[in-house]
């Protein structure tokens, strides 16, 4: 558990900020974390960090351009050393991946795994612990990152119609529920070009109630709903094919698809794991001579197997115990998959 004085210190820094600059991961956890702190500060600028889990040094230019009084890094597992060395601005870095050793005195590093390695509650959860605001946004981000927050009962009192009558685990909230649909709407709005994504994120930060989206009760909600529906048909076609593949025997459900169209890799792997928890899910997208993969399991530990399967190959990967991503060149894909399959079968 992150000590209360650490959370209070972050809150005090944010309360004093008049020109914060936010770097955040381009998934639901990252975006809902940004939304909470952006609204808490009442001002600032956001930089969604695409493509890489690491905040790279070339993005330091945003600090030079914006001249913030506070820098906030959200849901990014790593920051390049060159970036950290140049940081002279007070910085809050909130994350829940493998803890990092930070030597820069300007950085307040907040990670629950620093205190208890088994505590990987998402960044959106900790942003709510700091601000105590935006209950529905914090809950949305937490559930999207596979965690039922301990403030779910408070959420249920105000937004109970978004939840099923009964549920036992987070998977019960993910499919065929209003909260699950909200997650998918936000996920689909984070697709497309950087400018399109930024427009959707800015629109989302203006939404005051989930009914604006689910019932298209405001221009903001209509905008987000329209983009979601535009992409939903393509996603449903992928799921239809993947459901057929799931009937095949074997511990791994491998679903491969090509370069054209929108990428649904993470969304497909999450839904397939819920529907087929007995299988290891590997969704692989061909793109620009590489394979971009999303891997999920119910109980099997994945990072060490991905690392071992990748030895000597051109690629990289990692993530949570049961949810990882990896990229490998098309040339080395078959070798990687054969190794990974063998590791799964002998586990």
pLDDT tens for each residue of 172-224: 999 889 999 999 999 999 999 999 999 999 999 999 999 999 999 999 999 99
Tell me the pLDDT of the chain averaged across its residues: 95
pLDDT of 262 = 84
Q: What's the length of the chain?
A: 347
Rounded CA separation 47/304 (Å):
31
List the alpha helices (DSSP H) in the chain. 4-16, 28-41, 61-66, 81-86, 123-131, 135-144, 152-159, 171-174, 178-189, 194-205, 211-214, 219-245, 265-275, 303-309, 330-345
Q: How confident is the model at residue 73 (pLDDT cuts 50, 70, 90)?
A: very high
Q: Which residue has the higher pLDDT, 261 or 44?
A: 44
Q: Which of 23, 42, 4, 39 is nearest to 126 (CA)?
A: 4
Q: Could you report the per-residue pLDDT of 296-323, keeping only the tens digit for each?
A: 999 999 999 999 999 999 999 888 889 9
Give pLDDT, residue 309. 97
Give residue 347's pLDDT.
Answer: 79
Contact yes or no for 23/74 (Cβ under 8 A): yes
- 263 pLDDT band (50/70/90 cuts)? confident
Question: Percent of the chain at pLDDT above 70?
Answer: 100
Q: Which pLDDT band holds residue 77 (cuts at 50, 70, 90)? A: very high
* Cα dihedral sign, 243-248-249-251: negative
Distance CA 330, CA 76 (A): 27
Q: Are strands 323-329 and 315-319 parallel, antiparallel or unpaired?
A: antiparallel
Which percentage of the chain shows pLDDT scores above 90? 92
pLDDT of 260 > 80? The answer is no
CA distance 168 to 160: 15
| pTM for the full predicted model | 0.89
User: Is the confidence at residue 50, as pLDDT, over 90?
Assistant: no
Cβ(214)–Cβ(178) under 8 Å?
Answer: yes
Rounded to 5 degrees, what angle do the CA atoms 263, 261, 321 make?
10
The predicted model gives 231-260 an average pLDDT of 93
Dist CA 118 CA 227 (whole Å): 37
Q: Which two tokens stand for residue 71?
A: 């820098």
Instruction: Compute how many other C-beta atoms are within 10 angstroms of the C-beta atom of residue 12.
Output: 11
β pairing state of 107-110 and 91-94? parallel
pLDDT confidence bin for 19, thresholds 50/70/90: very high
What pLDDT, on a 0 to 100 scale, did the predictor assign at position 318?
83
What are the Cα distances from residue 17, in Å, to 37, 45, 93, 133, 251?
11, 12, 15, 17, 51
Q: Give the pLDDT of residue 51.
A: 73
Average pLDDT over residues 227-236: 94
C-alpha span between 87 and 94 (Å, rounded) = 16
**Mean pLDDT within 56-81:** 97
Phi-psi region of 112 (alpha: psi -120 to 50; beta: other; left: phi over 0): alpha
The pLDDT value given to residue 299: 92
Looking at residues 228-246, what average pLDDT do you find? 95
Average pLDDT over residues 329-347: 95
- Spatial separation of the C-alpha atoms in residues 339 and 310, rounded to whole Å: 8
Reported as a single tens digit per residue, the pLDDT across 279-297 is 999 999 999 999 999 999 9
Domains in the chain, start-ordered, CATH in brackets? 4-224 (3.90.1640), 246-345 (3.10.310.40)
């Amino acid at each position: 558990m992150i000590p209360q004085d650490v959370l209070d210190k972050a809150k005090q820094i944010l309360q004093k900020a008049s020109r914060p600059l936010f770097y955040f991961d381009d998934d639901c956890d990252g975006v809902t974390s940004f939304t909470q702190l952006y609204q808490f500060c009442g001002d600032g600028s956001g930089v969604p960090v695409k493509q890489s889990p690491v905040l790279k040094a070339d993005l330091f230019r945003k600090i030079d351009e914006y001249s913030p009084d506070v820098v906030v890094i959200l849901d990014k597992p790593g920051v390049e050393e060159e970036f950290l060395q140049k940081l002279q601005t007070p910085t809050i870095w909130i994350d829940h991946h493998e803890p990092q050793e930070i030597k820069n005195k300007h950085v307040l590093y907040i990670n629950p795994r620093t205190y208890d390695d088994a505590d990987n509650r998402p960044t959106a959860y900790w942003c709510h612990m700091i601000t105590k605001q935006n209950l529905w946004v914090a809950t949305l981000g937490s559930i999207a990152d596979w965690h039922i927050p301990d403030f779910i009962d408070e959420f249920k009192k105000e937004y109970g119609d978004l939840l099923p009558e009964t549920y036992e685990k987070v998977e019960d909230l993910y499919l065929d529920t209003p909260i699950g649909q909200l997650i998918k709407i936000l996920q689909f709005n984070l697709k497309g070009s950087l400018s399109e994504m930024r427009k959707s994120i800015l629109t989302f930060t203006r939404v005051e109630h989930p009914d604006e989206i689910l019932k298209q009760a405001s221009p903001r909600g209509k905008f987000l709903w329209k983009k979601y529906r535009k992409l939903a048909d393509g996603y449903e076609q992928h799921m239809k094919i993947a459901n057929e593949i799931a009937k095949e025997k074997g511990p791994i459900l491998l679903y491969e698809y090509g370069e054209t169209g929108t990428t649904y890799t993470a969304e497909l792997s999450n839904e397939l794991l819920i529907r087929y928890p007995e299988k290891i899910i590997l969704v692989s997208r061909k793109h620009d001579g590489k394979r971009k993969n999303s891997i999920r399991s119910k109980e099997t530990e994945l990072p060490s197997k991905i690392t071992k399967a990748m030895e000597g190959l051109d690629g990289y990967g990692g993530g949570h115990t049961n949810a990882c991503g990896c990229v490998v060149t098309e040339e080395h894909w078959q070798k990687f998959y054969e190794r990974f399959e063998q590791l799964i079968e002998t586990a």
